[in-house]
Copies of this chain bind each other. A is one copy, B any other.
C-alpha cells in the first residue's frame, strides 16, 4: 500500500465524518456541498479534488466501510463462527453513527443505491465459501436460497440491533448470531 499524503487522509476523513454527522440531522438531499465543507472545515473547492459530487462522496464512504468489513472476512477465516463474528459486531458498535444513519435514512434519488442492499450483497459474497459441503446437510438446498436466507437474516439482526440502541454487547450478539449462522450454512 503506497503511502498516502497525510493531508489527503485528513481531508477525506473530515469530509466523511461531516457527511455522517449531517445525515443524522437532515435527509441526504437537503445536505448541500457547502454544508459539508463547513462542517468538515474545508474549502468547498477542496471537495472536488477528491469527489465528483456529494453522491460520489457518499458512495465512497459506503465503499470504505464495506471494504473494511471485507478485510475482516479474510482475517476471520479459519475461526469458529462465534469468535469470527465478534470483530464484526465491535466494528458496528464503533461506527454506530454511520450504521444507524445509513440504515435509517431513506435513499436519495440518485446515487446511494440502498446501503442495505450493498451490505447484504457483501455478506452473501462472504458466506459463499462458508457453506457446509461436506456433512451433506445442504445437498438438497440450492446456494441461492441458502445465501439469501442467511444473508437477510444477518442483515436483519444487525439492523434491529443498531436501531434499538445495541441492547446487547457485541460479544453476546456474536455468540448468538454465530450459532444461528452455523446452523444455517
Contacts and interface: CB of A to CB of B under 8 A. Distances in A.
Interface of A: 6, 10, 41-43
Contacts of A41: 6, 10
A10 B10 CA distance: 11
Copies in the complex: 2
Contacts of A42: 6
A169 to B, nearest CB: 29
Nearest to A46: B6
Contacts of A10: 41
4 contacts: A6-B41, A6-B42, A6-B43, A10-B41
Contacts of A6: 41-43
A38 to B, nearest CB: 11
A41 B10 CA distance: 9
A42 B5 CA distance: 11
Nearest to A14: B10
A10 B41 CA distance: 9
A42 B42 CA distance: 17
A43 B41 CA distance: 20
**4 closest A-B pairs by CB:** A6-B41, A6-B43, A10-B41, A6-B42
A10 B42 CA distance: 10
A43 B10 CA distance: 13
